[in-house]
Amino acid sequence: MTTPTSRESSGAIDPRPLSGQTALVTGATRGLGRVIAEWLARAGANIVVSGRESDAVEASVAAVRALGVDAVGIPADLSRVEDAHRLAEETLTRVSRLDILINNAGMSRRGPFWDVTDAAWDEQVTVNWRSPFVVSQHVARHAIGRGGGGRIVNVSTIGAHAAHKDGLVYDAAKAAVEAMTRNMAYELAPYRVAVNCVIPGNIADRPGAEAHADRWSHWAREIPAGRVGRAEDIAAAVRFFCLPETEWTTGQSLLVDGGHLTFLRE
């Protein structure tokens, strides 16, 4: 039997458990990504902010720095595979060590699947699956090269488990992200890199959600918890997977939906 550390014995809770670590958060200029970046910063992590628009990236960098940590911004359009490679390569030249990768960036273009163009298919699959794969490759090689250790947290969608109307390509790409999570976890476990996935349910604080604000009360009635989700609900789950205490948790996909999928409409 191992002997508990002094921290475990005392039950002390470290308010900044990620101090000294650096996290890259994609899609970190608004919505879930911005809140995730801020939550990790409050936990002590330095942040690499990425998003499509330079001005929005700089605004997020300033907000993160105001929380008392270091931050750098790297604009990237993850619908372009070359930008995914550039983002990872530039990140690894600007920070001495990258400990955490949050593959949060995502997008969807809704419509019947029979009307999806090749360009729309490529864009959605690249942003939601291929670019996270590419960035994870770079981060994995970096972790292995420095002797191991680290976290990768992917972000999926409840639509990978219960179809979004007119969202086939998006939902399928995110389902692939969950499969990718399991396989990466298996391959990286010997190198002490834990890979997990957070699956958001119906979240109000995300780009485009304001267009459906008139339906939130209707959606809330179908959620056992009695409300739609907040960005903080997802950030809390992401932070959990990054904590030192969860290093033995890997290959998991955690549904954070207020119990929505437990509900059977009668």
The set of catalytic residues is: 170
* Site of tokens 């590419």: 134
Side-chain half-sphere exposure of 169, counting CA atoms within 13 A: 24
Give the span between the Cα atoms of 106 and 104, in whole angstroms. Answer: 6
Q: Which of 44, 38, 84, 31 is nearest to 61 (CA)?
A: 38
103 DSSP β-pair partners: 154
Tell me whether residue 207 is exposed, middle or buried, using C-beta atoms within 10 angstroms of its C-beta: 0 to 12, 13 to 18, 19 or more: middle
Q: Which of 68, 42, 40, 97 is nearest to 242 (CA)?
A: 40
Q: Which of 97, 159, 183, 83 is nearest to 126 (CA)?
A: 83
